[in-house]
Amino acid sequence: MNPQITAFIEGLPKVELHLHIEGSLEPDLMFELAKRNNVEIPFNSPEEVQAAYQFEDLQSFLDIYYQGANVLIYEQDFFDLTWAYLLRCKQDNVIHTEIFFDPQTHTARGIAFETVINGIDKAMQKGREELGISSQIIMCFLRHLDQDSAFETLKQALPFKDKIIGIGLDSSEQGHPPEKFKEVFEAAIGHGFLTVAHAGEEGPATNIHNAMKLLGVSRVDHGVRCVEDSGLVKQLIADRTPLTVCPLSNTKLKVFENMSDHNIVDLLRQGLCVTINSDDPAYFGGYMTDNFMAVAEALPVSLEELQAFSLNAIEASFISDEEKQRLVDLVTRFSREFLA
């Protein structure tokens, strides 16, 4: 690739809005935690784990991803997981990140909600102090489970409300549309949470429409299938509803066969507020810089457009206007100095 583009991507200050902390569990740490906690995993080495990461679709990934999370038991494990991710953020010049976690994956195994959130939160605090990375937590409901389970999870979250900025919806999109969770999202909004939802990843454009209409989402996670409804695309442009797109995830899970088929640059040029994110970087072959590189390698994209992905993510983030302005200044100063 053009070395100027590579250098620009490496130095560009980035904001991540779609990252599942359980999806940042690298095979080495999985192994270490399995040993530390005496948990059996069906692999003999981190290399074997890596080799198993070949996916046909979203479900084939989720099966392995939920199994991997079994090694996470103590607060220290959630701390170590989050700290490892934040160190990668530092390497990639990620200056702000909004982290998803899936409480039900852990509470279903008898791990207390507070164990999970306290481990994540303490690492984020250390990240602010020692790495200068700001962060927020978004709690996701697993959509393959029923709404009663989501309501129970919402109840467990209330004592930790000040640590959680928003509520999301993830896991198997097929057969579990947004309308299944309408009431629990209404309740969450009533408690003051912002909302987001995975929609239009493997599911149809109607899921994007319904996530906006019924779940009151501030952003759509993935959303790449919006192109199947031109009226919806017009609305996304008019409202500046952000899409948190995950390029390497999309090719790994065969939402697009090749990166050169991906619609992310087209969507940007049409005026949508699209952003670049890593989703589950330990499983999909890369963190933020890798995702930017993969896009720039396969698709024609200018430095200005690469910068626009960062500016869009700042616009779409759940931080104050003052904080947004501080991050915009960092991005524009970087570009100006790079081009000088």
201 is catalytic: yes
Q: Does 98 bind Zn ion (CB under 5 A)?
A: no
Window 48 to 77, contacts with ligand HPA (CB under 6 A): 58
Name the residue nearer to ligand HPA (CB basis): 20 or 225.
20
Considering the rule CB under 5 A, would residue 279 count as an interface residue with Zn ion?
yes
Residue nearest to ligand HPA as judged by C-beta position: 170
Q: Does residue 102 belong to the site contacting Zn ion (CB under 5 A)?
A: no
Residue 20 marked ligand-binding: yes
**CA–CA gap between residue 195 and residue 20 (Å, rounded):** 16
What's the closest the beta carbon of residue 189 comes to ligand HPA, in angstroms?
Answer: 21
Asked if residue 98 binds ligand HPA (CB under 6 A), the reply is no
Three-state SS sequence of the chain: CCHHHHHHHHHCCEEEEEEEHHHHCCHHHHHHHHHHCCCCCCCCCHHHHHHCCCCCCHHHHHHHHHHHHHHCCCHHHHHHHHHHHHHHHHHCCEEEEEEEECHHHHHCCCCCHHHHHHHHHHHHHHHHHHHCCEEEEEEEEECCCCHHHHHHHHHHHHHHHHHCCEEEEECCCCCCCHHHHHHHHHHHHHCCCEEEEEECCCCCHHHHHHHHHHCCCCEEEECHHHHHCHHHHHHHHHHCCCEEECHHHHHHCCCCCCHHHCCHHHHHHHCCCEEECCECHHHHCCCHHHHHHHHHHHCCCCHHHHHHHHHHHHHHCCCCHHHHHHHHHHHHHHHHHHHC
18 is annotated as contributing to ligand binding:
yes
314 close to 321: Cβ distance less than 8 angstroms = no
Q: Shortest approach of ligand HPA to residue 274 CB, angstroms?
A: 16
23 binds, among ligand HPA, Zn ion, none (CB under 5 to 8 A by kind): ligand HPA
Q: How far is the C-alpha of 286 from the C-alpha of 293, rounded, in Å?
A: 10
198 annotated ligand-binding residue: yes
User: Closest CB to ligand HPA among 12 and 49?
Assistant: 49
278 binds, among Zn ion, ligand HPA, none (CB under 5 to 8 A by kind): none
Query: Would you say 75 or 279 has its CB closer to Zn ion?
Result: 279
> What is the nearest approach in angstroms of ligand HPA to the Cβ of residue 23?
5
Single residue of 26, 77, 80, 279 touching ligand HPA by CB under 6 A: 279
Q: For residues 163-202, which are near ligand HPA according to CB under 6 A?
A: 170-171, 198, 201
Selecting among 16, 98, 201, 202, the annotated active-site residue is: 201
Question: Given the complex with Zn ion, which of 244 and 310 has the nearer CB atom?
Answer: 244
- Stretch touching Zn ion by CB under 5 A, among 151-159, 173-181, 187-195, 274-282: 274-282
- Residue 202 found at the interface with Zn ion (CB under 5 A): no
Q: Is 176 annotated in some ligand binding site?
A: no
Residues interacting with ligand HPA, by CB under 6 A? 20, 23, 58, 170-171, 198, 201, 249, 279-280
Hey, which residues are catalytic here?
201
Residues interacting with Zn ion, by CB under 5 A? 279
